[in-house]
Structure 1
Amino acid sequence: MSKNKKSARTREEILDVAWALIPRKGADVSLAEIAKEAGVTRQSVYVHFGSRGGLLMALVQRADERFAIWEAMEKALGEAETAAKLRAVLAAWFAFVPLIAPVARELIRLKPQDEAVAAAWNDRMDELYGVFRDLAVTLEAEGRLAPSWQAGKAADYLWAASSVQIWDLLTGERGWQGEEAAQRLTEAHLSVLLA
């Protein structure tokens, strides 16, 4: 095996171990613990990621790749009809949320006290906001936003009302099933935003 392939495999193994450890031990799990579980040295983790922040950023990017969220969003944005476009974007997001929720909860919990965690989380949420903004701009340009909405506020609403935190409140605190949460949130968003 070439050195590059071995290095890439080691990097993936470290990320997989971190993904498994964070829901069990929290996002403040140490790099030493991750290295030990992955069977590598702590120095190896630093070589691959540069810092704890680099590891966390790579971790959330790997989740994006593994679950192909941005490809699903791009496909959804390609829907011809406006309501179908909004439904498809929300379906892609709400299919992704349960997959990332265990790690996302930990990142959300730690971000106020950890700059690296905050940077990793904010990077991903900025990307999501960009999708919602593009969608809202399209809805506005097509005359499909309800009269009381402008694209910026509609994007803000979609981003906040579709958040992992809202999902957790409904599915965790209130006991909704995932499909029900996705369906009801989608219908609410369509009802609120579309003319």
Structure 2
Amino acid sequence: MCPEVSESRPYVSAKREAAAAKKRDAVIAAASQLLNDGPAMVSMEAVAKAAGVTRLTVYKQFGSRRGLLEAVFDANAEKGGLMRLRELMQLPDPRAALFACIDLMCEFWGSHPGFTKLHSAAGLDPEFAEAINARNERRRLLFANLLARMSGEDKARTDAADLLFGATSMPMFRILIESRTPSEVATLLKSTCAAILDAHGLT
């Protein structure tokens, strides 16, 4: 009897994990769909109903609405190839790495017009705004890490990081994309960022 029990447990555990992963994917998909109609539509109750699971299941999987929003952002970033930023950060030339990251961000934002519009709704939803701000701070950290690899003064790095952060913000992208393609926006932003680096003596 003992061997049979020990062999069946991994099988049962694997089935449970697969079922949990399937439910998690369903919840994220449902939340992503609801998010298209605005952050206010993404409540734990509404997501649970749309995913065909209980509200308790959603809480067990994500802990909170903020946790759910973070999972939705991560899923969209992975699907859109944004996770390649880690790879691009490893390029030997930090300036080339910066430009490659800008290309990827513009490509991602350009292919997710609905997502970019959501940023304007952040002011109406504090919890959603917190999640967006956390994502933005990751971008600021990305720039800080790249600038740390460049030669120059610390004050120049700090000032340049703030300027790069502002120049590559979602509001700026939304302004520029009105009359340009994502590729054209990326080219414009890269030339702007190059000027910022040059003006601050960062090489």
TM-score grouping bracket, smaller chain normalisation: 0.7 to 0.9
- Aligned residue for 1:157? 163
Task: Report the CA distance between 1:2 and its aligned residue.
Answer: 0.7
Pick aligned residue for 1:191 from 184, 191, 195: 195
Q: What TM-score does the superposition give when structure 1 sets the normalisation length?
A: 0.81
Specify which of 161, 170, 184 is matched with residue 176 of structure 2: 170
Structure 1 residue identity aligned to 2:31:
A
8 A Cα contact 1:86 1:190, kept in partner: no
Change beyond 3 A, Cα 1:131–1:99: same
Q: How many Å apart are 1:104 and its aligned residue?
A: 4.5
Q: Which residue of 1 aligns with 2:100?
A: 88
One-letter amino acid of the counterpart of residue 168, structure 2? S
State the alpha-carbon separation in 1 of the partners of residues 92 and 40 from structure 2: 44
Q: What's the TM-score once normalised by structure 2's chain length? A: 0.79
Moved over 4 A (4+): none
Q: Identify unmatched segments of 5+ residues in structure 1.
A: none
Question: Are residues 1:66 and 2:70 paired?
Answer: no
Task: Report if aligned partners of 2:116, 2:174 keep a CA contact under 8 Å in 1.
Answer: no
Alignment of 1:181 with 2:194, yes or no, is: no
Deviations 1:58-98 (CA, angstroms, capped at 9, x unpaired): 2112223333424x223222222343222112122222223
Aligned-residue sequence identity (percent) comes to 26
Give the total of aligned pairs: 184
SS of 1:150's partner is helix
**Mapping for residues 2-151 of structure 1, pairs under 5 Å:** 2-23=15-36, 25-29=37-41, 30-70=43-83, 72-110=84-122, 112-139=123-150, 141=151, 143=152, 150-151=156-157
Aligned AA for 2:128? V
**CA–CA distance in 2 between the matches of 1:75 and 1:157?**
24
User: What displacement does 1:113 show?
Assistant: 4.3
Q: Displacement of 1:99 after TM fit?
A: 4.1
* RMSD over equivalenced CA pairs, Å: 2.3
Larger radius of gyration: 2
Deviation (angstroms), 1:3: 0.9
Counterpart-to-counterpart distance in 2, 1:42 and 1:109:
25
